[in-house]
Amino acid sequence: MVAFGTAMIANERLERQLDDFDRGRRSEALTQLWRAAERGEDVLAASGADVNLHAHTFFSYNAYGYSPSKFAWLARKAGLAVAGIVDFDVLDGVDEFFDAGRLIGLKCCAGLESRVFVPEFATLEINSPGEPGVAYNMGVGFPRAASHPFLAEMRAAAKKRTRGIIERVNAYLDPVKLDFDTDVAPLTPSGNATERHLCEAYERKAADVFPDAARRAAFWTERLGGAPSESAKLQGLIRAKTMKQGGVGYVAPDRGSFPEMAKMNRFVAEAGAIPTVAWLDGASEGERRMDEFVDIAIASGAAALNVIPDRNYTPGKPESKLKNLYEVVALAERRGFPVIAGTEMNAPGQKFVDSFSSAELKPLAPMFLRSAHIVCAHTVLQRELGLGYLSPWAKASFSSIATKNEFFAAAGRALRPGGEKRLSVIDASTSPKQLLASLE
């Protein structure tokens, strides 16, 4: 019993080390944790039916500080059938996440999220509240980290926006002022600071400037109209009052503020991933016209839909958002779109995985699992063979989207993490039936 307790303490230390900004220390910790699990010193759940394909990591913003390796490890412990990361504007964590998945036997996929301009909906609010014409947009199933001019443009534009926000908010929150290099950059391993990093940094800086809690609360009340004692609520208030529409740090985007959706979708496809429509909750004018919006997205290559289920229902309470969720999933099924589902964990209190056994989500869970297998299979087949979901091979091999989805779902179920060597004898002349048989 003493030895088991000692092992647990050691494993907890190693789990904390998984969030170290040093890649080598993260890799060392994961290797030791896996060895301990193989010795029976940690309990890993059997693979089940739950998925999370939208977890942010500390390369953009994870409220719990999770690295790609940490999320992979926790997903493996929880028995997720498929796990996926999605970072904002960067692919910095992709290769690490795949390496972790191969080591610990986790089915993986990876994506990227950003904001784009949709000229056809220029006057309509879509899924970025208060910003007509601007939409969150995604790519899923990246086979590896990509080096592409579009990524460099996104990183540069994001850094410029972030520095501009700091300049404007500093003037308003003076004497609580941030220096990007000193106060913000150290919060993320590769300098990709987001608005959420700024909120965390302003909270920390206020504690330095006003060590007295009462004086600090008075400052926040004066500047923000309130001073929540809970960190998550305070950071949310900072963001809402200073960085979102109506705040001093906010600048309304115009057509040149973000790349057009078609340009981002071209990049995603060129990188071997699947351009993906992001959906919020169906409440905006733009999202009430989803069929039209999806037509526009398809014209530039979109072939999947992303949803965040946990945002769209309150357990036990029927509401319009849940109805909207079912309607958009039905739309995706009519179009043959895989539906990517997951929780972001980019704010404190968000779940690690959705409650797929709940009455509200249980009817949708099989669709989410099937879609996760599709993206997982695409990822591996595109990376190893160039035979992904949107590849010339796929276009030539399937007579319909339905038969293509059936194949990739079956391939995703059959794939085993780390089993890529089995694919070495396959090439573009292989039929889907032959390829699937080689996996089973």
In the sheet that 108-117 helps form, which strands lie side by side, from edge to edge?
51-55, 82-88, 108-117, 134-140, 274-278, 304-307, 339-341
| CB atoms near residue 27 (< 10 Å) | 17
What is the rounded CA–CA span in Å between residue 439 and residue 326?
Answer: 33
The stretches of 177-289 forming alpha helices (DSSP H) are: 195-209, 213-224, 231-242, 261-270
pLDDT, position 146: 84
Which of 391, 370, 107, 155 has its CA nearest to residue 273? 391
Helix (H) / strand (E) containing 84: strand 82-88
CA-nearest of 119, 83, 67 to 286 is: 119
pLDDT, position 2? 45
Q: What separation in angstroms does the CA of 144 have from each of 39, 51, 224, 367, 390?
A: 31, 20, 43, 25, 16
Which residue, 377, 439, 383, is CA-closest to 404? 377
Burial 342-357 (b: 16+ CB within 10 A, else e): bbbbbbeebebbbbbe
pTM: 0.94
C-beta of residue 173 within 8 angstroms of C-beta of residue 202: yes
Helix (H, G, I), strand (E, B) or coil at 401: helix
Dihedral sign, Cα of residue 341, residue 308, residue 298, residue 138: negative
User: In this structure, how many other beta carbons lie within 10 angstroms of the beta carbon of residue 293?
Assistant: 23
CA distance 270 to 264: 10
Are 60 and 71 in contact, with CB atoms under 8 Å apart? no
Torsions phi, psi of 327, nearest 5?
-70, -40
Torsion on CA atoms 191, 195, 200, 201, rounded to nearest 10: 60
Amino acid in the structure at residue 115: R
Q: 134 and 115 in contact (C-beta within 8 Å)?
A: yes
- Of 346, 361, 390, nearest to 136 by C-alpha is 346
Residue that the structure tokens 């030895």 belong to: 3
Backbone conformation region of residue 38, classed left if phi is above 0, alpha if psi is from -120 to 50, else beta: alpha
Q: Is the dihedral of CA 18, 20, 25, 27 positive or negative?
A: positive
Q: For residue 55, what pLDDT is reported? A: 97
Please tell me the distance from the alpha carbon of residue 101 to that of residue 103, in angstroms, as a whole number: 5
Rounded Cα–Cα distance for residues 277 and 64 (Å): 27
- The C-alpha atoms of residue 191 and residue 201 are separated, in whole angstroms, by 14
The single-letter code of the amino acid at 196 is R
- Computed on alpha carbons and rounded to an integer, the radius of gyration of the chain in Å comes to 22
**Rounded to an integer, what distance in angstroms lies between the CA atom of residue 391 and that of residue 379?**
12
Tell me, what's the pLDDT at 425? 65
* pLDDT tens, per residue, the chain with 440 residues: 445 566 778 899 999 999 999 999 999 999 999 999 999 888 899 999 999 999 999 999 999 999 999 999 999 999 999 999 999 999 999 999 999 999 999 999 999 999 999 999 999 999 998 899 999 999 999 999 988 899 998 888 888 889 999 999 999 999 999 999 999 999 999 888 999 999 999 999 999 999 999 999 999 999 999 999 999 899 999 999 999 888 998 887 777 788 999 999 999 999 999 999 999 999 999 999 999 999 999 999 999 999 999 888 877 777 788 999 999 999 999 999 999 999 999 888 889 999 999 999 999 999 999 999 999 999 999 999 999 999 999 999 999 999 999 999 999 999 988 777 667 667 778 899 988 988 87
